[in-house]
Amino acid sequence: MRVQQRYEPAVVRWLLLAMVLALVLLIASVAAACPTCKEGLAQNDPHGQAIAAGYYYSILFMMAMPFAILGTFGSLAYFSIRRARRGLAAEAGLQSADADATETY
């Protein structure tokens, strides 16, 4: 009895893996968003051409978003640091002007 209990989790893992693999293979036949499928759709009919154009623009959108997000945050950081440095320089200039003014009296 102990031998069966010892190997039972391995059998359950294999069955679970087989079910997941079968599910992935069944769902993969439904997915038609790869570039090759896009070109095949564009050649068949006008509706397919519209779908292919949608794929094209969605790919461009997905490729542009990381650059837009990083560019936005990078610009915000750059301008924030620049504003802080200007504030420190202006503050240092005011302090030195105050020190010069008090020395002359």
Distance CA 53, CA 39 (A): 10
Pick the closest to residue 39 from 21, 19, 59 (CA basis).
Answer: 59
pTM recorded for the entire structure: 0.45
- Residue 84: its pLDDT value, please? 92
- One digit per residue, the tens of pLDDT, for the chain of length 105 reads 455 555 567 677 888 888 888 887 777 655 555 666 656 666 667 777 777 778 888 888 889 999 999 999 999 999 999 999 998 888 888 777 666 666 655
- Residue 95: its pLDDT value, please? 76
Distance CA 101, CA 105 (A): 7
- Residue 47: its pLDDT value, please? 74
- Residue 39: its pLDDT value, please? 62
Domain boundaries along the sequence of the chain: 1-31, 32-104
Give yes or no for a contact between 55 and 42, defined as CB atoms under 8 angstroms apart: no
**DSSP assignment letter at 30:** T
